[in-house]
A and B are shown apart, each in its own frame.
Chain A
Amino acid sequence: MSEERIGVYVCHCGSNIASVVDVEDVAVWAKDNLADQGVVVARDYKFMCSSLGQELIQDDIKEQGLDRVVVAACSPHLHERTFRNACDRAGLNPFLCEMVSVREQVSWVHTDKELATQKAKAMIAGGVERVVYHEPLEPLRVPINEATLVVGAGIAGIQAALEIADSGFPVYLVEREPSIGGHMAQFDKTFPTLDCSACILTPKMVDAGQHPNITLLSWSEVERVDGYVGNFTVTIRKKARYVNEDVCTGCGICIEKCPVNVLDTNFEAGLGYRKAVYRPFPQAVPKYPVIDTENCTYFKRGKCKACQIFCPTQPNSIDFEQQDQLLQVPVGNIILATGYDLFDARRIPQYGYGRLANVYTSLEFERLCNAAGPTNGDVVLRDGVTKPEAVGIIHCVGSRDRNYNNYCSVICCMQSLKFAHLVKERTGAEVYNFYIDMRTAYKDYDEFYQKVLEEGTHFVRGRVAEVTDAARQPGEDGKIIVQVEDTFIGKQRRIPVDMVILSSALEPRADSDEVAHKFGIACSANGWFIEKHPKLDPVATMTEGIYIAGCAQGPKDIPSTVAQGAAAAARVLGRIQQKELALEPIRASVIAERCSGCRICNNMCPFNAILFHEDRMVTEINPALCQGCGTCVAACPSGAITGTQFSNEQVLAQIEGLLMFGVNGNLANELVPA
C-alpha cells in the first residue's frame, strides 16, 4: 500500500472525450483498482478545466489531503498549466500534478469505445505510477527579452508591430518584399465601406517606417531561429538592395532613368510594368528602391549603370558591390504574419484564365480598378480601351473544391460583391455573379449584398462549368460565354459576357511548411498555421513564444486580420510585462558521490552545460545552461546523472502502468522485480 494520497480526475471535455471513452467507468475503475498505488479519490467531470472542475480538485486536495494529482483530459500542452495552477492554489506543489492525454491520444484518434476506454485506463495507470515519483519543484525563472520579431509586414504584421512599439518595446519588422504593405496595398477599395485601401493603409505604413521602436527590415528573410521563448536568437538575411539606404533620398531618378521595363507579376499582378531598379509602388515604405539583378542590364551584361550615372546623391547611392548581410537579433517573442498566396487560376483550364484575354483574376481586377494601377482605374478589356458591356464574376474559384482546396476562402463572396459594385459604378455593364452560396456573415456585409442587389446585379446560383469562346448560338460570337446550370431554374444557361473576373482562393504561402518548420510550429493539412486553440487561443501556437496573425492562420478579411494582429501583440505585451518567464524545472544534475569521472557524458551537451573537474575527477552540470533534454542522463553508465521531471524512476514507473492491460484487456504486465 502506497503512502501517497493520489486524486485522479477524468474529464469528459463535453462529449469530446466522453463520447468515445466511458469516463464514469474509468473513474470508478481507477478508484477501485489503483488503490494500492495510492489513489484515494477518482472523479469524472464534464469540464475539468472549468473553474468548477478546478475547484473540485482544489477542494479534494484540502479536504482529502491529496499529495498527488493526476488529470486525464486533453494534451498537457493545452492545460497542464491550468491544473498545476489549481494545485498551487490549493497549496500543493504544482509539479506534483501529472496530466494524461486521453483526448488527443485516445478519444480523438480511436473509435472503438471499449478499446479506447481500456487504453485510457492504462494511460491513467501510467500517470498514477509516475506521479508517485514526482517531487515538489520550483520553476526556473529566466528574464524575457523585451524585443519582438514580427515576420511579414502586411496589415496584420504592421498592426502588431505598431501596437507593441507604441507600448514602448522594440520590434524587428521583417518583410521579404522591398516594401511593407502586403496584399492590402494592392487593393483599390475595401468592403463593405468602400474606403480606399491606400488611404487607410499608407498612414500605418508610414508610422511603422518611422517608429523609433521599430527596426524595419524590408527585403529581408529569416534564415534560422534558435533558442526558446523569452530568449530567441533570430538570424535574418538582409538581401542586397544595391542601393545604399544611408545615402539614398528616395528621389526616384534612378527609376526614371532605368531603361529596362519588366513585367511586374508581383505588385501589379502581371497587369503592368516596372523598371529593373524599382520600388513596388510610389508610397512604398521604405522609400529606397531595389535593383532586380535578374533583369538589370548591368548585372546581365556588365554595362549600363544608368542608375548610378544619374544618381544625384553624394556619395552615390547605387552600390553594385553590395552583399547580403546576416544579422543576429535577440528577441523574446515572435509573431508570424506571413499572409497568403493567391490561387493560380490557370490550374482550372476550363475557366480560360491565361488563354482567354478577358478573363481576369481578382488581384488583376484590383489593379485594374486602382487609380494608381496600370489603367489609372479604368475598367477595360485586355485591349486597354474597350469598356465591357457585360461582366461575369465567378465565386469559389479554387475554393470549396476538393480538386483544389476544400475550404471556403471567406472573403470571396464579399470581394465579388465589391467587384460587382465597382464594375457597375465604372462601366454601367450588366454584371452576373455566379455563386454556390452567398456568405455575407459579418457586420454590414449583408447590407452590402442588399445594396448590390439594388444596383441590378444578376445573381445566378450555380457553380460555373466552363468559360469559353466557342460560340454556337446567335449572339455568342466575339463574346466569352459563361456556361452554368442556373440551379434555381434547373436549366443550363450560356451567358455571353465581355469580361470574366475569377474570385480566386486564398492559399497558404507556397513555403508555409518550410516557414512553420523554421519556427517550430505546425501546419494543418491545408497548409495554414495551426493555432493553439481554435476558439480560446486563436493567435498562440503550440510553441511557446510564437504567435500567428492574419491570413497565415487561415483566410480572413481585413477587419479580422487587423484584430488578430492586435490580439497577437496583446499576447506578446502580456508576456513582456511578466518580465521573467517561469520555465519547466526540467534539469539534469550529477550525484557527485556516484560519479566515477568516466567522462562519457562530457560531450553530450550542445549547450556546454557539462563541466569536468579535473581536480576532483567528477563531472558537474551547470543548471543555468542545461536545457533539460536528458541525453546525458541516458548516457551515464553509472546512473550518476538524474533528471527532474523525467527521472528513470518516473519513466520506468509510467511504463509499468501503461502495460497494466493488454489491448484485449488481459493483464499484460507482470509486476516482477527486475
Chain B
Amino acid sequence: MTTTAFSPEAPVLARTRRSFMREIVEDTPGGDPRLEMCIQCGTCGGSCPSGADMEYSPRRIFAMVEADMREEVLKANTFWYCVSCYYCMVRCPQEVHITDIMYTLKRKAIREGYYRESSASDAPDFSETFVDAVLKYGRSFELGLATRYHLRHHPIGAVKMATGMGLEMLRKGRMDLTPRRIKNLGQLQAILREAEDVAREDREQIGGGA
C-alpha cells in the first residue's frame, strides 16, 4: 500500500516473517539471496543436470520453503543431488542465489539430522569425510577419502575401486598412498577452531545457523 514497499533500499529481511524462509535467507552468505523473489517459473528445475533425479525440483523446494514445510524440505534429496554447476543461478530470471541456498539446506539438514531420513542419506558423509581430511592435513586426501567413504557405504564398490579404478590411479601415479600435510597445520586448525566459535556465537544470537 505504501510507497516504501517498493523502496529498493528496504531490506528484504524486513519484509520476511520469521520463518523457515528467513532462517535460510539469514544463513546464506554473500548478501541477500533473494529467495522470496522466486516466481516459480521452473528455470532452475529445467536447467538442473540432475533435476530429473530429484524428488523435488529446486523450484518446488522453494515453494515448500515458502509454505514452511520444514521437515519435508530438509529430508529431501534435492540439495544432495546438486552438482554445483550454477546453471540455475545464472539463468534465474529473479537472480535468486539458488546454488548458495542449496548449500545452506545441506548444512541445515546435517546440523538438524534430517539427512538420515533422506534417500541420499550417505551423501553428507562424503562431504564430512572430505572435511575431516582437510581438518587433519590441510589438504584433501583422495585415497583416504575414497576408501573410508566407500568402506562405510558401498563395501562392494570399495572392493571394485581397490581393484579397478583405484589400482589404476595408483599405477598411473595419480593417487597418493599417504596424505600430504601442510607445514603450518597448527595455524590452520586454530583458524578453523576460531571460525567454529564465531559461528557458534552467531547461532546463539540468531538461532538455527550452520
Q: Within the complex, are A and B direct neighbours (CB within 8 Å)? A: yes
Which chain A residues have a beta carbon within 8 Å of chain B's beta carbons? 15-16, 19-20, 107-108, 111, 350, 396, 400-403, 436, 461-466, 483-487, 490-492
CA separation between A490 and B87, bound complex, in Å? 18
The answer to whether A15 touches B41 (Cβ under 8 A) is: no
The answer to whether A487 touches B41 (Cβ under 8 A) is: yes
Q: Given A111-B9, A462-B42, answer yes or no on A485-B93 (Cβ-Cβ < 8 Å).
A: no
Asked if B59 CB lies within 8 Å of chain A CBs, one says: yes
Q: Given A15-B2, A402-B94, A403-B93, answer yes or no on A465-B7 (Cβ-Cβ < 8 Å).
A: no
| Smallest CB separation, B59 vs chain A (Å) | 6
B44: A residues at CB distance < 8 A:
485
For B90, B91, B95, which residue has the most chain A Cβ atoms within 10 angstroms?
Answer: B91
A403: B residues at CB distance < 8 A:
90-91, 93, 95
The answer to whether A466 touches B47 (Cβ under 8 A) is: yes
The interface size of chain B toward A, counting residues with CB under 8 Å, comes to: 29
For B43, B56, B57, B90, which residue has the most chain A Cβ atoms within 10 angstroms?
Answer: B43
CA separation between A361 and B96, bound complex, in Å? 27
Task: Specify which of A461, A465, A487 is in contact with B47 (CB 8 Å cutoff).
Answer: A465
The answer to whether B52 touches A491 (Cβ under 8 A) is: yes
A487: B residues at CB distance < 8 A:
40-42, 45, 57, 59-60
Dominant secondary structure at the A interface = loop
The answer to whether A108 touches B3 (Cβ under 8 A) is: yes
The answer to whether A462 touches B3 (Cβ under 8 A) is: no
Contact string, B70-112, partner A, CB cutoff 8 A, digits 1/0? Answer: 0000000000000000010011011100000000000000000
| Smallest CB separation, A179 vs chain B (Å) | 36
The answer to whether A20 touches B45 (Cβ under 8 A) is: no
Asked if B46 CB lies within 8 Å of chain A CBs, one says: yes
The answer to whether A492 touches B46 (Cβ under 8 A) is: yes
Having A15-B3, A487-B41, one finds 6 other A-B pairs with CB under 8 Å, namely: A396-B93, A403-B91, A462-B46, A483-B47, A485-B43, A485-B45
Task: Specify which of B2, B46, B56 is in contact with A484 (CB 8 Å cutoff).
Answer: B46
The answer to whether B10 touches A111 (Cβ under 8 A) is: yes
Asked if B48 CB lies within 8 Å of chain A CBs, one says: yes
B4: A residues at CB distance < 8 A:
19-20, 111
Q: Given A111-B10, A401-B93, A402-B95, answer yes or no on A490-B56 (Cβ-Cβ < 8 Å).
A: yes
Task: Specify which of B40, B41, B57 is in contact with A491 (CB 8 Å cutoff).
Answer: B57
B47: A residues at CB distance < 8 A:
465-466, 483
For B9, B57, B60, which residue has the most chain A Cβ atoms within 10 angstroms?
Answer: B57
Contact string, B1-34, partner A, CB cutoff 8 A, digits 1/0? Answer: 1111001011000000000000000000000000
Asked if B167 CB lies within 8 Å of chain A CBs, one says: no
The answer to whether B94 touches A485 (Cβ under 8 A) is: no
CA separation between A465 and B47, bound complex, in Å? 5
The answer to whether A19 touches B3 (Cβ under 8 A) is: yes
B192: A residues at CB distance < 8 A:
none
CA separation between A350 and B48, bound complex, in Å? 13
B7: A residues at CB distance < 8 A:
111
Q: Which residue of A lies closest to B93 (CB)?
A: A401
The answer to whether B52 touches A462 (Cβ under 8 A) is: no
Asked if B39 CB lies within 8 Å of chain A CBs, one says: yes
Q: Given A19-B3, A107-B3, A111-B10, answer yes or no on A492-B52 (Cβ-Cβ < 8 Å).
A: yes
B52: A residues at CB distance < 8 A:
491-492
Task: Specify which of B9, B10, B51 is in contact with A485 (CB 8 Å cutoff).
Answer: B51
The answer to whether A463 touches B41 (Cβ under 8 A) is: yes
CA separation between A403 and B93, bound complex, in Å? 6
The answer to whether A490 touches B60 (Cβ under 8 A) is: yes
CA separation between A19 and B7, bound complex, in Å? 13
Q: Given A19-B2, A491-B52, answer yes or no on A464-B95 (Cβ-Cβ < 8 Å).
A: no
A108: B residues at CB distance < 8 A:
3
Q: Which residue of B lies closest to A398 (CB)?
A: B93
B45: A residues at CB distance < 8 A:
462, 465, 485, 487, 490, 492
A484: B residues at CB distance < 8 A:
42, 46
A465: B residues at CB distance < 8 A:
42-43, 45-47, 87, 91
Q: Which residue of A lies closest to B94 (CB)?
A: A402
The answer to whether B56 touches A463 (Cβ under 8 A) is: no
CA separation between A402 and B43, bound complex, in Å? 13
The answer to whether A486 touches B3 (Cβ under 8 A) is: no
A-B interface, 10 closest residue pairs, ranked by CB to CB distance from nearest: A465-B46, A485-B45, A485-B42, A401-B93, A465-B47, A463-B41, A462-B42, A19-B2, A485-B46, A487-B42
The answer to whether A436 touches B46 (Cβ under 8 A) is: no
| Smallest CB separation, A588 vs chain B (Å) | 39
| Smallest CB separation, B90 vs chain A (Å) | 8
B40: A residues at CB distance < 8 A:
487
CA separation between A332 and B200, bound complex, in Å? 71
For B1, B41, B87, B91, which residue has the most chain A Cβ atoms within 10 angstroms?
Answer: B41
CA separation between A490 and B45, bound complex, in Å? 8
| Smallest CB separation, B176 vs chain A (Å) | 36
Q: Which residue of A lies closest to B46 (CB)?
A: A465
CA separation between A554 and B51, bound complex, in Å? 37
A490: B residues at CB distance < 8 A:
45, 56-57, 59-60
CA separation between A396 and B43, bound complex, in Å? 12
Q: Which residue of A lies closest to B43 (CB)?
A: A463
CA separation between A466 and B43, bound complex, in Å? 9
| A-B pairs with beta carbons under 8 Å apart, 26 shown | A15-B2, A20-B4, A111-B4, A111-B9, A111-B10, A396-B93, A400-B39, A402-B95, A403-B93, A436-B39, A462-B41, A462-B42, A462-B45, A462-B46, A464-B46, A465-B45, A465-B46, A465-B87, A466-B46, A466-B47, A484-B42, A485-B46, A487-B42, A487-B60, A491-B52, A491-B57
